[in-house]
Amino acid sequence: MRSRSMTLLCGILAAFTSASIALADGSDETTEKVLYDLTGVEYFGGPPQLFAILEVSPSARLVEFRWENVVLETYDNVGVPNWGSEAVLGIEAINTAGESFSEYFFPFPDANSGPGPFGPVDGSLDLLLVDMFADQSGHVSVLGGSTWEDGSGLPAGHYLSGILALIYAPIPAPGALILLGIAAARSRRRRR
């Protein structure tokens, strides 16, 4: 009975081993996705503000940030319109040193006019090269704003539609890794 239990435990732990190997080589077999709907979200000029906090696995490695079918409407608050190219989106997480780290992008880089609706646009930002991770609680912040502050105090625009998708790779819990080490040691001892 004891060897059957050990075989079952080793089989379960082998699944964790293959997941950690897949994480290291960047394969998407072990990735998960969380979505955020931009529809109706207003944004202001000045420093990017918090749109939402996404819940992912604690300390998960961030793989990719995608935007799909994003349509933006900008406003003319002061007689000089906000441009689509001034709209910025981003995420804030932590780096390998455990410090807060942000990545931003401009979904409408060629929309040098306004007001308008602009879009729809699709795109993605590869996050593997910048080594971003969720915090220990599994939180990742979505940020947005405009690079131009028109001084009105009013929103610079709002999103008519769009989905943001954060693709991440869960990190096995430390307890699972410890069990994996114990199982490997027992397996080697039994074979001798």
Confidence band for 174, pLDDT divided at 50, 70 and 90: low
Three-class SS of residue 120? strand
Q: Is the pLDDT assigned to residue 22 strictly greater than 80?
A: no
Confidence band for 114, pLDDT divided at 50, 70 and 90: confident
Across the range 151-156, mean pLDDT stands at 96
pLDDT of residue 83: 97
Both tokens of 117, joined, read 């609706």
Characterize the bridge pairing of strands 157-169 and 32-37. Answer: antiparallel
Residues in a beta bridge with 89? 105, 144
Q: Is 38 part of a structural domain of the chain?
A: yes
Q: Is 139 part of a structural domain of the chain?
A: yes
Share the mean pLDDT of the chain: 82
Residue 137: give its domain's CATH number. 2.60.120
Q: Is 3 part of a structural domain of the chain?
A: no
Q: Is 178 part of a structural domain of the chain?
A: no
* Residue 71: partners with Cβ closer than 8 Å, 6 or more residues away: 117, 118, 119, 120, 159, 160, 161, 162
pLDDT of residue 185: 53
Across the range 42-63, mean pLDDT stands at 96
The larger pLDDT score, comparing residue 96 to residue 176, is at 96
Q: Is the pLDDT assigned to residue 27 strictly greater than 60?
A: no
Across the range 147-169, mean pLDDT stands at 97
| Residues above pLDDT 70, as percent of the chain | 74
Q: Is the pLDDT assigned to residue 17 strictly greater than 60?
A: no
Domain span at 66: 29-171
Q: Is 140 part of a structural domain of the chain?
A: yes
pLDDT of residue 35: 97
- Total domains, the chain: 1
pLDDT of residue 28: 42
Q: Is 118 part of a structural domain of the chain?
A: yes
Confidence band for 171, pLDDT divided at 50, 70 and 90: confident
The larger pLDDT score, comparing residue 41 to residue 182, is at 41
Q: Is 183 part of a structural domain of the chain?
A: no
Q: Is 17 part of a structural domain of the chain?
A: no
